[in-house]
Structure formats: structure tokens, C-alpha cells
Amino acid sequence: MRWFTLSWQAVAAIMLCVLAGFLGPMTQAESDALANPTATFAYPFLNSKSLIFDLILGAAAVSMLRIPRLAAAAALAIGAHVAAWMLLTGIAGFEGTALASYYIILAAAWLLAWRCVTVLSTFKPASRVASVALRLVIPLIFGIWILIIWEAIVRGAGIPFILLPPPSVIGVTIANSIPTLAADVNQTIFKSVVAGYVIGCGCGFLTAILADRVSFLRRGLLPIGNMVSALPIIGVAPIMVMWFGFDWQSKAAVVAIMTFFPMLVNTVAGLAEAGHMERDLMRTYASNYTQTLIKLRLPAAAPFIFNALKINSTLALIGAIVAEFFGTPTVGMGFRISTAVGRMDIDMVWAEIAVAALVGSVFYGLIALAERAATFWHPSVRGG
């Protein structure tokens, strides 16, 4: 029995480390310092360089030993992320001086993280909590590495922060401007989006019920609804701003129009979902239209309705923000983005984007949770 198993990521990481050691200095400052040994001035990675190399080489070697997979994953995670952390803190203040071996070491650390994710995704934990945790940890590592590579490249290559600020600067901007961001979220989300979303989805739902009752209406509305959902409805934003004024009402109108048709089309499709057997059963119980609708057909349509709610959650956010480009009171996420772009205040733009993405994900997540609670009987939720 062999006492180690090879993995190409770990082998490649070791080879990259060797290559980086061969190439020498990691930054221009270090190369200057080496060329002029009598002068003593600080350069990045003065003390931490060998530690970074040791971490990566050690983690790569340990991960290939025949040890429990959890231990290998832990070693990889620690090696990759501590090395990356030291790379990022080292380069700060020396932006734009990175040489090839800096990027090679970064790539080696990234390969270890990849190996870590590969090891983690072979786990099939028995307990429910562990499997949920695993489902969160794996994408989390991926997301962290997007941020790490972003930060490392922006700082390493010295990209002007005005073009692309690194995540750390964006984080500081968010922390410093919480009152502004809160006011924008309040205006855009809690006034425009929520009102428009409720009105749009509600009207779509009621129209769908009506269309279900009157088959003439259904045959007329469905093809139109399908066509409208391909149209660039967002274009009505300037018209709505002209009609309803600058405040949130016009944005709510845009959101309502955008969310109406997906809801209509999906609900009509969902109402056709209940099978003949079940409908016949309801008829043998002598239940009338309303009873059949509430007790059989709406529950059967629930997966479709939730699908529409999910699609609409994204559409609503986009609709409200874009509508704000056409005129707003001096608050709101779309307003803030367009004025911040005008002032080249790119940090603020990214802060708004991060907040919007967070709010959008929370919105989506809440609907997904509600779906799990409401359609617990559905095969896709039961997992059967």
C-alpha cells in the first residue's frame, strides 16, 4: 500500500513554487534591494517570503499523504488561505510593483484551494447539518477566491483604484457610508420594489384566475403574454416617470408592469397542472369551482407561482434601479449609482452594487424558503 496519493493540483502547486523560487524576487522593490545590498530599505515579503513558500509546499505535501480526507482538506484550506492572506497584506502599499513570481505564488495558492474544494466535494456526509454546511462552504471558498484574485491583481498590477477598486476598499466604503446606503435601500427597495412587486404579482395572479375562468380570455391573453415577456419592457421607464412623477410611484409602476406578465403566464400554466383524476375526485365530492380552486388547483400550481415570484424578484430590482436613471428625488440606488459614476466615485458605485446584490440574494432566498415551506409535498423539495 502506497503512503501517498498524487493529485495534479498539489504537484502543480509544488512545481510553481519551485519556478517562483527560481525566478527570484517577487516585487520590483525586492529586486532593487537585492541589487543594492548595502542599502537597507523595506520591501514587501521581507520576512514572510519563506513562510509563504513553506506554507504552500507543506500543505501540498501533507494533502498527498494518506491521511483522512477531512485532515487533508483542512491542511489545504489553511495553507492556501493563510498564504493568500500574507500575499495580500504584503503587497498593500507597494501597488503596481509585483513581478512574475508574485502571480505564480498566487496561482499555486489558488491550485491548493481548488484541490481543497475537490476533496470537499467528494464528501457525502450522513448528518443533515453537515451536508448543509458543506453546501455552504464549497461555494463560499469559490467566492472568497474571486475576491482574493481580484484584490491581488488590482494591487499587484497597480490598476488605478478609480477604474477598479479592490474589494477591501469597497468594504471600507460600505462601512463608512451606511446611513446613505440605508436611505437608498429604503427608497428603492422598501418603497418602489415592494409596492410594485406586490401590485404586479397580485394583478398577474388575479388576471390568471380570471383567464382560467373565461377560456376566451385565456386563449387571447396567453400568446400576447408570451410575446410581451420577450419585449424590452424596461423601455417604458421614461414614460412611467413622465406619468407618475419622480418619486417612488413611477418606479413601482415600472416594477408592476415588469412583474405582471411572468406571473400571469406561470400561474395560468400552473392552474393547468392538476390532473384529471384529482379533478374528478373533487367533482365526486360535489365541490364547486371555488373549492376546487382553493383546495386542489392552487396548491398544485404553487411551484409555478413560486417560480414566477423568483423570476420577478430579480426583474423588480432591475426595473426599479433602471427607472431611477430617468429621474428621482435625490435618494435611491439608481440615483446614487448614476451620480457616483458622473463624479468618478467608483468606490460608491461598487458599494451600491454589493448592497444591491446582497438585497437581491436575500429577497431570492426568502422566496426560496417560503417555497420550501409552502410546497413541502412536492418531489423536488422532498428529494424523492
Cβ atoms < 10 Å from Cβ of 103? 19
**Contact with another protein (CB under 8 A): which of 179, 223, 379, 384?**
223
216 lies in the binding site for another protein (CB under 8 A):
yes
Smallest separation (angstroms) from another protein to the CB of 125: 13
- The residues in 155-214 that bind another protein, with binding defined as CB under 8 A, are 162-164
- Rounded CA-CA distance 135/13 in Å is 26
Partnered with residue 65 across adjacent β-strands are: 4
- The residues in 259-318 that bind another protein, with binding defined as CB under 8 A, are 313-314, 317-318
65 neighbors 55 (Cβ within 8 angstroms):
no
241 neighbors 323 (Cβ within 8 angstroms):
yes
Alpha helices for the chain (secondary structure H): 8-23, 28-35, 49-64, 69-91, 100-120, 128-157, 167-176, 178-185, 194-213, 215-228, 237-244, 248-271, 276-284, 289-292, 298-323, 333-342, 346-374, 379-382
C-beta of 15 vs 318, nearer to another protein: 318
- Rounded CA-CA distance 266/183 in Å is 34
Smallest separation (angstroms) from another protein to the CB of 52: 24
249 lies in the binding site for another protein (CB under 8 A):
no
Question: Which range binds another protein by CB under 8 A, 69-77, 261-269, 335-343, 373-381?
Answer: 335-343
238 lies in the binding site for another protein (CB under 8 A):
yes
Smallest separation (angstroms) from another protein to the CB of 314: 6
Residue type for position 67: I
80 lies in the binding site for another protein (CB under 8 A):
no
Q: Running DSSP on this structure, what letter comes out for residue 189?
A: I
236 lies in the binding site for another protein (CB under 8 A):
yes
- The residues in 363-382 that bind another protein, with binding defined as CB under 8 A, are 363-364
Calculate the alpha carbon distances from 363 to 39, 73, 121, 208 in Å: 57, 33, 28, 24
**Contact with another protein (CB under 8 A): which of 18, 67, 149, 217?**
217
120 neighbors 88 (Cβ within 8 angstroms):
no
Cell numbers that stand for 225 in this block: 403574454
- Rounded CA-CA distance 264/207 in Å is 7
352 lies in the binding site for another protein (CB under 8 A):
yes
C-beta of 26 vs 256, nearer to another protein: 256
240 lies in the binding site for another protein (CB under 8 A):
no
C-beta of 28 vs 118, nearer to another protein: 118
- The residues in 35-54 that bind another protein, with binding defined as CB under 8 A, are none
122 lies in the binding site for another protein (CB under 8 A):
yes
Cβ atoms < 10 Å from Cβ of 381? 14
Question: Which range binds another protein by CB under 8 A, 28-36, 43-51, 246-254, 356-364?
Answer: 356-364
C-beta of 213 vs 283, nearer to another protein: 213
Smallest separation (angstroms) from another protein to the CB of 66: 21
Question: Which range binds another protein by CB under 8 A, 197-205, 244-252, 270-278, 329-337?
Answer: 329-337
CA atoms within 13 A on the CB side of 292: 22
- Rounded CA-CA distance 208/155 in Å is 54
Partnered with residue 27 across adjacent β-strands are: 98
- Rounded CA-CA distance 108/248 in Å is 50
361 lies in the binding site for another protein (CB under 8 A):
yes
Smallest separation (angstroms) from another protein to the CB of 382: 20
Number of amino acids touching another protein (CB under 8 A)? 61
235 lies in the binding site for another protein (CB under 8 A):
yes
Interface contacts to another protein, rule CB under 8 A: 114, 117-118, 120-122, 135, 138-139, 141-143, 146, 162-164, 216-221, 223-224, 227, 229-232, 234-236, 238-239, 241-243, 313-314, 317-318, 321-322, 325-326, 333-334, 337-338, 341, 344, 346, 349, 352-353, 356-357, 360-361, 363-364
